[in-house]
Structure 1
Amino acid sequence: MRVEGTEEDPILFTGTEETRGWWDGIYVQTVDLNNVLSHAVIEYAGNDLDGGLEIATKTGAAADDAELELSNCTIRESAGHGLVLGRNATLFDGSGENTYTDNDDSPVWTRSSRIHMLSDTSSYTGNGDEYVFVEARDGEDISDSRTEEDAISWDAIEVPYRMDGHTEIHDVELTVDPGAYFEFTQDSMLEFQEESAVIMRGVIDGGDGRDEQVEEITFTGTEETRGWWNGLYIQTTAADNVLEHVIVEYGGATDEDSANVRVATRTGSAGGSGELELTGCTLRESDGHGLVLGRDAELRDESRANTYTANTSGPVKARSDNVHTLDWSSDFTGNDDDTVLVEGKTRETDGDVYWADLGVPYRLDGGTSSFEMNGEFEIAPGTDVEFEQEARLRIGDDNAETDIRFVGTEDDPITFTATEAGRDAGIRGWWDGINVRSTSMLNQIHHATIEYGGRDLEGNVDVATGATHDGALDLRDCTIRESGAAGVAVGGNEEINGDVCAVNEFENNDGVDCDV
């Protein structure tokens, strides 16, 4: 198929009357590297086809492949869409500079595996539906076998991509251009699976006398309703994974781990890891959390300056073994619940852990958050840590030497306390307490307030009181109060500063203040 006009003399396909849907249109179902349609006008079609030009069928039957170079064409006045790209359609490189306008429906209807074939050199405005309609059927995958490419890009075009259904990316590096805008129908989602990579770098630039350039990438709902769509799900550890200057909003429609962005699975099944650089992004208006970090999830060190706001469940849900990847330069405020929810898990991977002061409390759930690694566990001055009922913080193990550095200042103490429900009810023994099983002589808890613990430990601070464990601690300049047991309890052969009872303040503990 070779249909080639010129700029001065385009080829015209039109109706005998200037009525939308007067004739069916052009249907391409041929596979040939020489197929070309250029400098042509197609108008007043769309009667028995879904568009003025249809390349392969929407359903994509096995025998229904089609390929074409489409350039410098105008498709207009269709009773349906301008262009339809079926599941097995291919637009060759070089396609572009087309005009889709004055059509009843959208400028283009495409399967999600064909988005990368659309060019930002074309014009998509002036149609009945001002968006490109993108359909994904039954978790349609975009993979190297479907695209025949290892790397693809989604161009920023003049109108939104309207995403309908569950799109999965497999075995492909996807780059989304700055300024691209995606709106999702109800319950739709975009998922990045193993062996894929996601590169989304929006632009916010300015300064030095230049005009500010704002080309953020946006993922939103077709309605401004929290939980309208499911969100982005990232389950890949590719080194290039990045979301920078990206807005994700109105997601979080799935389950207890619902979020605008989920990294890795909650259960951490095989292949469920996820790693990501998240920088300068806004995650807002989720019906769950802004961000969920599942098992084997990690935000890379470069992550910074994100905004998590106006989310129903809170800014972030993480685990005690990965919450340290959150950064102090981000804003976690303005949510219905301004706490970072931390699932109690065990960290055994060697290396240092640092909990920054996020400006909102960490809220540890009712499990045990255990740190059993060779390295330092540090909490920044001014940090607030809240514990749900029956929660526990345990540091150290017989097989690992974890150094504790919980050192606040007189002006910015660290606080370990009950959740608001426990504090308001004044329940001593709301949570278990801090259990020290590390024998490091570097262990320090200074300038901290520790309160409402002592539920299932011997005190708010329990230094290896069990017969099978050892511990060591330098504890000073702290306020230890409202325990359901002792203030401080120390096992018989453990190491603690000799003046521990004199250099700390004790208030309203059910047991003895200082049991050493």
Structure 2
Amino acid sequence: MLLLLMGFAFSSCSSDDDPLTEEPPQANNPAIVLDCDYFSSGNIHLENVPGAPIDYIISCDPKIKGDILIDAGVVIAFEKNAGLQFIDDANYKIEMKGTSQNPIILTGTEKIKGHWRGLLLSTDNASNVMNHVTVEYAGQIRPGGWNYKGAVIGAWGGVMDFNNVSIRDCQEIGLHWEARAGNLTLANSTFTRNDVPIVTNANHINSIDESSTYSGNVNDYIRLEHTGADKDITFHNIDIPFFSNGLNPNNSAKRTFTFKPGVTILMDAGSEMYFQGAFRYQHETIMVGTPNDRITIKGKEDVAGYWKGLSILSDSPLNEVRFLDISNAGETIGDPNGAIKLGKSVFLKLHDVNFINCFEYGVSLNYGHGYNFSLDYSNLSLDNTPKLFSDHNGVEVTNP
């Protein structure tokens, strides 16, 4: 028995002293501080710093002078007013490839909205990618007079493939993809707790789809600036509304404008959606909801005549508006003042439309001898809208 007890005690002591069973010490190595001189030396590769909770601290706002590669799991903290500018004319490559288990984190040294400037992107390298990257606590109006503002800014031809990116807790704008920017690819990403999640223009609407989430911001809408459009456009049914200052496609080619079921669009004061048919280019308007997923287009404020309405001047046989709620539209001064205005030569299928709190008329018609005018309509209802049809001069029409 004595021998057994001694053996047990010996084995217990050996186990306690065995380094293989001890908890490894928690490393807490300091971050590497990078100043502007570091970024002027050509290509850059930022790797994980062993044992460092934060791998790098960036103290300035450098212009990158080479390709940049950031490894999965790298954490970079930016000091106040610091950032990164990818604006050199050589179109260097940006590669930030995190993973779901080891995302790349770009954060502030203080957890305050707008603490650091963010990323300014204008390189058009087709290989640019940000995958599993989090950008947080950034967003400022950048100096220089270009009105660049936001946490991640695409400008002057910038190209980026965003996939599984999270932009959160940012001041001004989460993602500001300007009219002058290049191709935007966006998927499986999250924009939340920003002042505004995204600001862009009509040509980049196609990239904003149901694969990403955009809610939980101070202003829960996608802000659309600049009315011009020079490509086919699809409005997707995302989890927040679009907020538009109008849409006026150019006439360099035929365009198709598709509004998916369930889409909601807020219109700015005095704005208009204008689908014209100039010369041989007959733009196509396909605005087809369903009984359970109606399309909604309304003023940002619930005021009759807050925005001008839809103008359709195309005779494309594909023009169709169905299961639409249109609110707060109409001209308050001058004619025609319908929420939907139809041109001289037009083709439109118009069914199951509710005109809600519009200024005077639901539909204004401009038709007469020699015009190719075709209007197929049914189930048009008025809700706090006085009259259904007028001619182009604002005179009521009872049976068009």
TM-score (norm 1): 0.64
Alignment RMSD? 2.0
Q: Report the equivalent of 2:306.
A: 430
Q: CA deviation at 1:472?
A: 2.6
Determine what percentage of the aligned residue pairs are the same residue: 22
Q: Report the equivalent of 1:26.
A: none
- Equivalent residue in structure 2 for 1:182, among 73, 76, 85: 76
Q: 1:110-149 maps to which residues of 2 (within 5 A)?
A: 130-136=30-36, 142=40, 146-147=41-42
What is the DSSP-based 3-state SS (H/G/I as helix, E as strand, rest coil) of the residue aligned with 2:187? Answer: coil
Q: CA deviation at 1:359?
A: 1.0
What is the DSSP-based 3-state SS (H/G/I as helix, E as strand, rest coil) of the residue aligned with 1:322? Answer: helix
- Equivalent residue in structure 2 for 1:408, among 269, 289, 311: 289
Q: Report the equivalent of 2:219.
A: 337
Q: Report the equivalent of 1:230.
A: 117
Say whether residues 1:162 and 2:57 are aligned partners: yes
Q: Report the equivalent of 2:354.
A: 479
What is the DSSP-based 3-state SS (H/G/I as helix, E as strand, rest coil) of the residue aligned with 2:62? Answer: strand
What is the DSSP-based 3-state SS (H/G/I as helix, E as strand, rest coil) of the residue aligned with 2:206? Answer: helix
Q: Report the equivalent of 2:19.
A: none
Residues in 1 aligned to 2:346 and 2:180: alpha-carbon distance in whole angstroms:
29
Q: CA deviation at 1:448?
A: 0.6
Residues in 2 aligned to 1:251 and 1:220: alpha-carbon distance in whole angstroms:
7
Q: CA deviation at 1:489?
A: 0.9
Q: Report the equivalent of 1:251.
A: 138
The higher-RCO structure (CA 8 Å, 6+ apart) is 2
Q: CA deviation at 1:392?
A: 1.1
Residues in 2 aligned to 1:333 and 1:480: alpha-carbon distance in whole angstroms:
28
Residue by residue over 1:472-510, the C-alpha shift from the partner in whole angstroms, topping out at 9 and shown as x without a partner, is 321111112322232111211353324x2x431122224
Q: Extract unaligned runs of 5+ from structure 2.
A: 1-26, 391-399
C-alpha contact (below 8 Å) 2:113/2:169 kept by paired residues:
yes
Q: Could you say if the C-alpha distance between residues 235 and 507 of structure 1 is closer, same or farther in structure 2, counting changes exceeding 3 Å?
A: same
C-alpha contact (below 8 Å) 2:158/2:181 kept by paired residues:
yes
Structure 1 letter corresponding to 2:276: G
C-alpha contact (below 8 Å) 1:321/1:345 kept by paired residues:
no
What is the DSSP-based 3-state SS (H/G/I as helix, E as strand, rest coil) of the residue aligned with 2:162? Answer: strand
- Equivalent residue in structure 2 for 1:198, among 94, 107, 111: 94
C-alpha contact (below 8 Å) 1:281/1:306 kept by paired residues:
yes
What is the DSSP-based 3-state SS (H/G/I as helix, E as strand, rest coil) of the residue aligned with 2:115? Answer: coil
Residues in 1 aligned to 2:192 and 2:28: alpha-carbon distance in whole angstroms:
35
Q: 1:215-364 maps to which residues of 2 (within 5 A)?
A: 215-254=102-141, 257-264=148-155, 272-301=156-185, 303-312=186-195, 314-349=196-231, 352-364=232-244
What is the DSSP-based 3-state SS (H/G/I as helix, E as strand, rest coil) of the residue aligned with 1:215? Answer: coil
Q: Report the equivalent of 1:22.
A: none
Q: CA deviation at 1:300?
A: 4.2
What is the DSSP-based 3-state SS (H/G/I as helix, E as strand, rest coil) of the residue aligned with 1:169? Answer: coil
Q: Extract unaligned runs of 5+ from structure 1.
A: 1-124, 205-213, 265-271
Q: CA deviation at 1:178?
A: 0.6
Q: Could you say if the C-alpha distance between residues 230 and 397 of structure 1 is closer, same or farther in structure 2, counting changes exceeding 3 Å?
A: farther
Residue by residue over 1:179-205, the C-alpha shift from the partner in whole angstroms, topping out at 9 and shown as x without a partner, is 11111111111011231221111011x
Q: 1:21-60 maps to which residues of 2 (within 5 A)?
A: none
Q: CA deviation at 1:298?
A: 4.6
Residues in 1 aligned to 2:375 and 2:379: alpha-carbon distance in whole angstroms:
10
C-alpha contact (below 8 Å) 1:299/1:325 kept by paired residues:
no
Q: CA deviation at 1:393?
A: 1.1
Q: 1:392-471 maps to which residues of 2 (within 5 A)?
A: 392-399=272-279, 400-419=281-300, 422-423=301-302, 427-455=303-331, 458-464=337-343, 470-471=345-346
Residues in 2 aligned to 1:141 and 1:315: alpha-carbon distance in whole angstroms:
29
TM-score (norm 2): 0.82
Q: CA deviation at 1:514?
A: 1.8
Residues in 1 aligned to 2:272 and 2:341: alpha-carbon distance in whole angstroms:
11
Q: CA deviation at 1:439?
A: 2.1
Structure 1 letter corresponding to 2:204: N
C-alpha contact (below 8 Å) 2:131/2:164 kept by paired residues:
yes
Structure 2 letter corresponding to 1:481: I
Residue by residue over 1:300-335, the C-alpha shift from the partner in whole angstroms, topping out at 9 and shown as x without a partner, is 45x3110000002x2111112222221211010111
C-alpha contact (below 8 Å) 2:205/2:233 kept by paired residues:
no
Residues in 1 aligned to 2:351 and 2:238: alpha-carbon distance in whole angstroms:
24
Aligned residues: 347
Q: Report the equivalent of 2:365.
A: 490
Residues in 2 aligned to 1:298 and 1:445: alpha-carbon distance in whole angstroms:
31
What is the DSSP-based 3-state SS (H/G/I as helix, E as strand, rest coil) of the residue aligned with 2:247? Answer: strand
Residues in 2 aligned to 1:192 and 1:481: alpha-carbon distance in whole angstroms:
47
Q: CA deviation at 1:513?
A: 1.1
What is the DSSP-based 3-state SS (H/G/I as helix, E as strand, rest coil) of the residue aligned with 2:34? Answer: strand
Q: CA deviation at 1:387?
A: 0.7
Structure 1 letter corresponding to 2:192: T
Structure 2 letter corresponding to 1:197: K
